[in-house]
Chain A
């Protein structure tokens, strides 16, 4: 089988959630656990809200039912606050497209590593490691 054929067949599982209506996906391989914010002791953990790492145009970003995703193999433990995950889906890696060049040009250090069209929706794929390493805004 050709390399392209293999790439088409390979699948990844994504945890899907929305923030301010934007559909986002993170590879579950990058996640160690999902916790309720109330159940996390603030000591010895680095927690950031999603919008602190990647700015939204809205001044106020609302999380209706916040959860914390913890990244695998990170010490001290680091997590990102997201809204309630909606589902876990499997996608073929062949269906992943790069961000258009104009978007990349203005988002050089973006943690968005690809996009997946799904019907009317477009899922933005987030690299959790890169997201957590992004500069923290307000």
Chain B
């Protein structure tokens, strides 16, 4: 009976070890951040963004993605980070979570990686308060710290909706 229990525990541990998460690693200024891969539907180069008069500063406008119109928001402005110019490396990540969909402008997309779920650690307590509420955890990529965002929490803040 003890052996059976031990075997079940081993299986559970293996399953836990095998649980993996896809992360879209991107940069903002000098730092790395990530979105959970399943929340990101597409990554695009920055094309024409049509400004919509009357929108708040952090909404850059709308884009045409193969006939579908998506809003684009500037995560720098949203998080209170300094502005940056759109450059060749800039990318648009189309995020979709909890029935909210929008494109998000980031400085660059560095990589899409698959990591063990347990490699994402709880966020450090000294994390900037302005972003703390949107963070699910931290991991490392190329020996640099990566702050993992929950897009759903960003959308909740933007739409004023809670789950």
A residues in contact (CB < 8 Å) with B: 19-23, 51, 54-57, 97, 99-103, 105-107, 110, 112, 115, 117, 120-122, 124
Interface of A is mostly: mixed
Per-residue 0/1 for B49-82: is the Cβ within 8 Å of any A Cβ (1 yes, 0 no)?
A: 0111111110100111001111101000000000
The chain B residues found within 8 Å of chain A, CB to CB, are 47-48, 50-57, 59, 62-64, 67-71, 73, 100-102, 158-160
A117, B69: Cβ atoms closer than 8 Å: yes
Residues in A whose Cβ lies below 8 Å from that of B53: 19, 22, 51, 54-57, 112, 124
Assess A117 versus B64: contact at CB under 8 Å? Given A101-B100, A102-B73, A122-B69: yes
Given A97-B69, A100-B71, A105-B158, answer yes or no on A122-B62 (Cβ-Cβ < 8 Å).
Answer: yes
Contacts of B52 in A (CB 8 A): 22, 99, 103, 107, 112, 124
Is there an interface contact between A101 and B69, defined as CB atoms closer than 8 Å? Answer: no
A117 contacts B70, CB within 8 Å? no
List the B side residues contacting A23 at CB < 8 Å.
50
Instruction: Give bound CA distance, A23 to B52, whole Å.
Output: 10
Q: Are A22 and B48 in contact, with the CB atoms below 8 A? A: no
Residues B54 and A100 in contact, CB atoms below 8 Å apart: no
A-B contact pairs, 30 of them (CB 8 A): A21-B51, A22-B50, A22-B53, A23-B50, A54-B53, A55-B53, A57-B51, A97-B69, A99-B52, A100-B62, A100-B70, A100-B71, A100-B102, A101-B100, A101-B101, A102-B100, A102-B102, A102-B159, A103-B52, A103-B55, A105-B158, A105-B160, A106-B56, A106-B59, A112-B52, A112-B54, A115-B69, A120-B48, A121-B48, A124-B52
